[in-house]
Chain A
Amino acid sequence: MNILIGTILLWALALLVLRRLRRHAPEHLDDVLTRSRATVTFLIPRVFVGLVGAGFMAELLPVDRIEHWFGESAGLGGVVLATAVGMATPGGPFIAFAIGAAALKAGAAWAPLMAFITAWSVMNLNRAIAYELPLMGRHFLLIRSAASLPVPLVLGLLVLAW
């Protein structure tokens, strides 16, 4: 249902933008449509393969051991491990926050949880493969990832030192 509302909103915005374009710069309309068609043809196989691959990877992830990795005795190693797990955790916010909440209930410390949520936010492999790589290109993804890599570790360590 959520996706339907999002789609309708997005199309409303797209039609609004196209109407403005037709009114203010009609000479570019053909150009925009041709370019959009080329981009969509480029994207579809990539998004499809990305989503299918992410679905398979999600299935292989040992979810039952994640609680164990977040354990109370985590310390520095836990922060590092949580960062790696966060990067590899596929799926939408529902899954990541549910895992985080479950780990917290099982007695996980805040520091690895912080590293996990932050790593999942900035370095999510799933999102990178299914969306960022096909949409933004390798250059953007690599530069943003390289800059973001230390962030989950730094935030996790800050909480650890708190």
Chain B
Amino acid sequence: MIDGSLIFITALAVAAGTGVWLSEGAGRFREILLAESLFTLELLPKIVAGVLIASALPFLMSRDRVQALIGPDSGMRGLAIATLAGAIIPGGPSVTYPLTIGLMAAGADLGAGVALVSGWVLIGLNRTLIWELSFLPPEFVALRVALSLPVPVFLGWIVRRFRREIRLP
């Protein structure tokens, strides 16, 4: 239950919390703690649903088909498919990460997983259309999307290469 990453994020939270307490007082500290606790509660049902989907997905999808589409030997086409999936899937981290876990359990490789997550964070349609365009000039957004377009495929390719050089399966 308690591992390195939990200890690490707890230490960070305690350090930042101490900083807030010292610089802005106990009142602000309690305010933030309460707000984030409530947010965790709000998020809880989403997390449960996401985990259920991620756990069930591998049993529902044919391993052969997932592997052929976005498996280790799916080539550039597989990375492009994973990128596209990441870009068009609507939803935040509690949807995209469980979905990636589910797909990786069903036969997608690490490179495709990285391409999918990168496609979501860099060119996610939802975020770009709803948020970015309402704040930033369209010319800037267009340039950013154009420059970012090849990046997820490239990152997936890097990860695949790197993995092959480190240890052959």
Contacts and interface: CB of A to CB of B under 8 A. Distances in A.
Interface of A: 3, 6-7, 9-11, 13-14, 17-18, 20-21, 24-25, 28, 32, 35-36, 39-40, 42-57, 59-60, 93-94, 97-98, 100-101, 104, 110, 113-114, 117-118, 121-122, 124, 127, 129-136, 138, 140, 143-144, 147-148, 151, 155, 158-159
A60 B16 contact: yes
Interface in B73-131: 91-95, 97-98, 100-101, 110, 113-114, 117-118, 121-122, 127, 131
B49 A11 contact: yes
Given A28-B59, A100-B135, A151-B151, A13 B9 contact: no
Interface of B: 1, 4-6, 9-10, 12-13, 16-17, 19-20, 23-24, 28-29, 32-33, 35-37, 39-40, 42-57, 59-60, 91-95, 97-98, 100-101, 110, 113-114, 117-118, 121-122, 127, 131-132, 134-137, 140, 143-144, 147-148, 151, 155, 158-159, 162
Contacts of A25: 59-60
Given A20-B60, A40-B51, A133-B5, A55 B36 contact: yes
Contacts of B127: 93
Main secondary structure of the interface of B (DSSP, over half): helix
B59 A60 contact: no
A121 B121 contact: yes
Contacts of B117: 132, 136, 144
B146 to A, nearest CB: 10
Enumerate the 10 nearest inter-chain pairs by beta-carbon distance, A residue then B residue, closest first.
Answer: A53-B13, A56-B16, A97-B135, A93-B131, A131-B93, A135-B97, A14-B49, A55-B36, A10-B49, A101-B135
Contact of B50 (A10, A42, A97): A10
A43 B47 contact: yes
Main secondary structure of the interface of A (DSSP, over half): helix
Contact of B53 (A17, A121, A130, A132): A17
